[in-house]
Structure 1
Amino acid sequence: MAAVEVDVQLTRDGELAVIHDPTVDRTTNGKGRVRDFTLAELKKLDAGKGEAIPSLAEVVAEVAGRAHLVVEVKDPEATSALLGFFQARDIFAHTHVISFWHPVVKVLKEKEPRLRTGVLLVGCPVDPVGVARAALAEALVLHYGYVTPDLVNTAHAGGLLVYVWNIDDVETLKPYLKMNLDGIGSNRPDVLVNYVASLK
C-alpha cells in the first residue's frame, strides 16, 4: 500500500500546517516561527516554484482513497488540534500518527484508542519493543541502519509493526526486502517502486 508521510506544525490560529521545520526560514521566502503565523499568512509565502504551504486538511483531501497518510507530530502543542482534526473527520482507518515525542503518542492513544500510532526512535534503545509499549504505540519507526532481522522478528512477536526511514537507493534497499518490514520510507519512492516492480 502506498503511503504519504507529512510533518505538521500548529499555527497561531490553531490550524495544522504541513511543514517540517518549526520556522519558515529554510523552506520559504519568509522568516519566523510557524506558530507566529496564521494559516492564511503562511499561505502567502512561497514554498518554492510558487507553491504554498498546505494545510493538513488539504493534504487529507488530496490523498483520500489513493494512499495511507502518516502524520508526524513535530510540535507537542499540536496534540489537541490534531486529535480534534481526526475525530471530526473519522479517518482513523487510513492514518498513522508518529512522533519522537513519546509522551505525546501515549496521550493521543489514551484519548483516542482508534488512533493508530508509532514511536519514532533516535538510534535504537536496548528494548525498542518496551519503548513502544510504554507509549501504547502499534509501530516502531526507525532509521534503517538500526534495523536487523532479529529486531523485526522480536517486534512482530510483540505485536508491533516496523517501519524504516529513509532508503533512497536500490543497493541499500535490497537486504531490507528480505526482512518482512511493514513499511519503507523514502525520498525517492519512484526509484524503489520501479525496482520492486522489475522483480515481478
Structure 2
Amino acid sequence: MSCQISLSRPIRQFTGILAITILTGAPNASANTLDRQLTALQDFQVVAHRGASGHAPEHTLPAFQMAYDMGADYLELDIQMTADGELVVLHDETLNRTTDAEGPLQDYTLAELQELDAGSWFNTTNPSRAQSRFAGTQVPTLDQVIDRFGTQTRYYIETKSAERDPTLEAELMEALEGRGLIEAGAVTIQSFSQESLRKVQAINPNVPLVQLVWYYPENEDSEELTEWTGVTPGPEAITDADFQEVRDYAVAIGTNMTYQGEPVIDEAFVTQAQDNDLLVHVYTVNGIPMMEQLLGWGVDGMFTNFPDRLIRLTQ
C-alpha cells in the first residue's frame, strides 16, 4: 500500500515517546509496533482525505473503497458521536451539507442517522462524476469501515468536535484497541485540539499523533497570520521552541498550504519543522502543480481528495 519517493534528506530518528520506551528497556510489543509504524511514516504518505472524496461522496464506504483500490497509504476519516454514543464517520457537526436531513449530528441516534441519504448530494454537486449507486449511501460507523478494510489498512483518524464529546477519546481508543488496530500499527490520530491529542497519549502512548494547524489572517487587511487554536504562532513568527512544544507529544504537524488561494507556508516552514523532528503533512491538495511544488519542498505527506493523482506523481 505504500507509495514511496526518494527524499534527499537523511531519515530522521524519532525521539519523544518512542525514545522513552526504548530507554526503559521494556520488552513492549506495542512499542515495537509503534517503532515499525514510525519507520513506515518516513516514506511519503498519500492520505485519502475523507476517502477518494473527489470521486465519491465523502466519508462513505464507496469513497473509502475507491481510495483503498487506488493504493492510498491512509484512509482519512473524522470521528464523531451520535446521540446514543455511537462512533460514526462524518466531518460536519450538522447534517445539512452531506445528507438529506438538517440539524446537529448529536441530535440523531445511530438508527436515525443511518436512515439518511448521504450520497445523492454528491451527484447533484458533481454531475460529471455522478453515479446512481451513490444515492442512498449511508453514513458509516467506525466499525463498518474497519469491518470493510480490516487491520492491514492504515487509518488517519481525526477526533472531531472533541470539546463537545468529552468521552470521545476514551470511546475511540477502546474501539481501536478492541479491534486490534493499535497493536497492528494501523492508526494515526490527528486533531486541532492539543487537549484531545494529550488525552489520547495518556490513554495509550503507542499511537502516532498529528497536531493539525490552520493558518489565516486574523483580520481581513492583516498580512500577519494567526493559528486557529493558538497552538503555535503564525508561520512568520514560529520558532524552534514552538515546534519543539508540538514535538513533545506529536510526531507530525498537519498544516494548510493556502488560505483563500494565497500561500500560508513556504519551504522554510517545512524545513524548520523537519529540523525539529516533526514530519510535515499538508492538506488538502488537489491540483497537480501544487502537489509537485510540495513534493519539491520535501513534505512528508499530503491529504488529497484525488489520491490517484498524487499516487501517479509519486510512483
Q: How does the TM-score come out when normalised to structure 1?
A: 0.89
Quickly say closer, same or farther: Cα 1:180–1:107, change in 2 above 3 A: same
Query: In the alignment, which residue of structure 2 is the partner of 1:88?
Result: 178
- C-alpha separation between the residues in 2 aligned to 1:41 and 1:81? 21
Tell me the equivalent position of 1:173: 291
Q: Distance in 2 between matches of 1:66 and 1:178?
A: 30
What residue is the counterpart of 1:62 in the other structure?
148
Structure 1 position 74 matched with structure 2 position 74: no
Q: Deviations over 1:103-130 (max 9, x none)?
A: 1111111221012111110116324514
Superposed counterparts of 1:3-82, under 5 Å: 3-48=74-119, 49-64=135-150, 67-76=153-162, 77=165, 78-82=168-172
1:186 and 2:304 equivalent?
Answer: yes
Query: Is 1:133 matched up with 2:265?
Result: no
Provide the C-alpha distance between the structure 1 equivalents of 2:302 and 2:89, rounded to a whole number of angstroms: 21
Which structure 2 segments of 5+ residues have no match? 3-72, 120-134, 216-226, 228-232, 258-262
- Give ranges in structure 1 of 5+ residues lacking alignment: none
Provide the rounded CA distance (Å) in 1 between the counterparts of 2:151 and 2:200. Answer: 24
Query: How big is the shift at 1:81?
Result: 1.2
| TM-score, normalization by structure 2 | 0.58
Determine if contact 1:100/1:121 at 8 Å carries over to the other structure: yes
Counterpart contact for 2:78–2:159, Cα < 8 Å: yes
Q: Does 1:142 align with 2:255?
A: yes
How many Å apart are 1:89 and its aligned residue?
2.0
How far apart are the structure 2 equivalents of 1:146 and 1:63? Answer: 35
Out of 96, 105, 112, the position equivalent to 2:204 is 112
Q: Is the Cα contact below 8 Å between 2:151 and 2:181 reproduced in 1?
A: no
Note if contact 1:147-1:164 (Cα within 8 Å) is conserved in structure 2. Answer: no
Q: How many residues align?
A: 196
SS at match of 1:185: strand
Greater Rg over alpha carbons, structure: 2
- Matches of 2:310 and 2:287, distance apart in 1: 7
Which amino acid is the alignment partner of residue 83 of structure 1?
A: M
Q: Offset of 1:169 from its aligned partner?
A: 1.2
CA shift at 1:131, angstroms? Answer: 4.5
Percent same amino acid at aligned positions?
28
- Give the CA RMSD over aligned residues: 1.9
